[in-house]
């Protein structure tokens, strides 16, 4: 198994374990047998790495708890390096409840204990289920199903997505009690470690949920950090020193924006998206002007797109910077919204409204029963 570190969105790195082709094949074969056996036994409040379930369904569940049942205080529990700290004996004991074949249990243990090659050195593993293998998500859900069952026994409103668990209560005092008791259960019974710096008891609007922010009335908005990550990505694609053609830049923008709006379609962000659309158009105009560089090339470009020659000369002769120049009437006339749309640029606001319409129409069938 080869160890690979990838950057995390919130900072730091995540350790992945890339199994060999043969190991992946065997793990996938075991997964196809175990998944139909284990998945039906999992809690209805578990949404991560399960067929037919998604982060959007987990968000809908949270909306119900907050907006309908008025549980506006969240106990946000973060497990410290969960996949690296899974106790092998506890995990295999849970697996043995469902699987009686000791040969299968032995194979799974060998996968868990397989050495990881890092910087040319093979390091033995005494704990953890490496991310990157087909079996790891199922085994993670199997271990944390004990937590789900305990929370159900206590009658809590909660939802879990992989190692991200949120419990919804009505008061801060109740949240503190739940945090203390659940932390004790995780650390003493499952031998996992709660990250006390990232875990918190707070009002839902103060926490981030899968890149969203949940407001008191159950409404969803895009979290500030998600907006910043989006704009950083857009700046990278449309940076002015790129030599790529505008058509290629638009294709890269479309690829990113289509996926982004598909994920964040549940949020109420129409006004903000209209501003992002305008900002993107200015960035594209700025890129195109920077590529033209010379005054003569800029005049020919503007006049070829219907700009009065006098206005084209005045614009090209201006001492304004590229960003201010991209906002002049002549440049906007040469690169209108209609022309950028014809060139294939995705309009975020229009795509958002279309997705919201289909989401509303299909919500009854798409959302889980709560």
- Rounded to whole angstroms, the Cα distance separating 162 from 79 reads 10
Q: In this predicted structure, what is the pLDDT of residue 190?
A: 94
* Average pLDDT estimate for 345-367: 76
Specify the pTM: 0.85
Query: Helices 55-63 and 348-366, interaxial angle, to 10°?
Result: 70
pLDDT tens-place string over residues 261-308: 999 999 999 999 999 999 999 999 998 888 888 889 989 999 999 999
Q: In this predicted structure, what is the pLDDT of residue 368?
A: 43
| More reliable by pLDDT, 18 or 263 | 263
- Whether the predicted pLDDT of 121 surpasses 80: no
Q: In this predicted structure, what is the pLDDT of residue 256?
A: 96
pLDDT tens-place string over residues 333-345: 999 999 999 989 9
Q: In this predicted structure, what is the pLDDT of residue 38?
A: 95
Could you tell me what percent of the chain has a pLDDT over 70?
Answer: 90
DSSP letter string over 331-350? HHHHT-HHHHHHTT---HHH
Please give the backbone phi and psi of residue 166, each rounded to the nearest 5 degrees, phi first: -125, 130
Which residue is associated with the tokens 């809690």? 43
Q: In this predicted structure, what is the pLDDT of residue 118?
A: 67
Do the beta carbons of residue 192 and residue 76 sit within 8 Å? no
Sign of the alpha-carbon torsion through 336, 341, 343, 346: positive
* Average pLDDT estimate for 343-355: 93
pLDDT tens-place string over residues 216-270: 789 999 999 999 999 999 999 998 887 788 889 999 999 999 999 999 999 999 9
| Confidence band of 134 (pLDDT split at 50, 70, 90) | confident
Mean pLDDT of the chain: 88
363, 298, 290: which is closest to 321 by C-alpha? Answer: 290
| Confidence band of 77 (pLDDT split at 50, 70, 90) | very high
């Amino acid at each position: 198994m080869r160890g690979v570190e990838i950057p995390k969105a919130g900072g730091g790195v995540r350790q992945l374990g890339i199994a060999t082709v043969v190991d992946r094949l065997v793990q996938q074969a075991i997964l196809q047998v175990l998944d139909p056996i284990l998945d039906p036994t999992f809690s209805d409040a578990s949404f991560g790495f399960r067929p037919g379930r998604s982060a959007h369904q987990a968000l809908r569940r949270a909306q119900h708890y907050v907006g309908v049942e008025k549980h506006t205080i969240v106990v946000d529990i973060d497990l410290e390096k969960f996949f690296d700290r899974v106790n092998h004996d506890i995990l295999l004991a849970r697996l043995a409840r469902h699987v009686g074949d000791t040969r299968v249990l032995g194979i799974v243990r060998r996968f868990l204990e397989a050495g990881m090659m890092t910087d040319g050195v093979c390091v033995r593993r005494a704990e953890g289920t490496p991310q990157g293998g087909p079996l790891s998500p199922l085994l993670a859900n199997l271990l944390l199903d004990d937590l789900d069952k305990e929370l159900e026994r206590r009658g809590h409103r909660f939802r879990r997505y992989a190692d991200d668990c949120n419990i919804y209560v009505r008061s801060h005092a109740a949240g503190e009690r739940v945090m203390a008791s659940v932390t004790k259960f995780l650390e003493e019974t499952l031998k996992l470690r709660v990250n006390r710096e990232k875990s918190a008891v707070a009002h839902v609007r103060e926490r981030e949920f899968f890149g969203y922010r949940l407001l008191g009335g159950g409404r969803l908005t895009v979290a500030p950090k998600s907006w910043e990550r989006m704009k950083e990505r857009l700046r990278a694609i449309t940076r002015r020193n790129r030599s790529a053609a505008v058509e290629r830049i638009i294709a890269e923008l479309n690829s990113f924006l289509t996926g982004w709006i598909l994920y964040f379609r549940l949020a109420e962000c129409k006004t903000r998206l209209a501003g992002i659309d305008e900002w993107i158009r200015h960035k594209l105009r700025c890129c195109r002007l920077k590529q033209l560089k010379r005054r003569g090339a800029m005049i020919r470009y503007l006049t070829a797109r219907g700009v009065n020659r006098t206005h084209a000369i005045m614009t090209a002769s201006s001492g304004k910077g590229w960003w201010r120049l991209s906002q002049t009437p002549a440049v906007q006339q040469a690169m209108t919204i209609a022309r950028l749309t014809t060139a294939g640029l995705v309009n975020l606001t229009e795509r958002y409204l279309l997705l919201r319409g289909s989401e509303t129409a299909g919500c009854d069938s798409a959302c889980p029963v709560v």
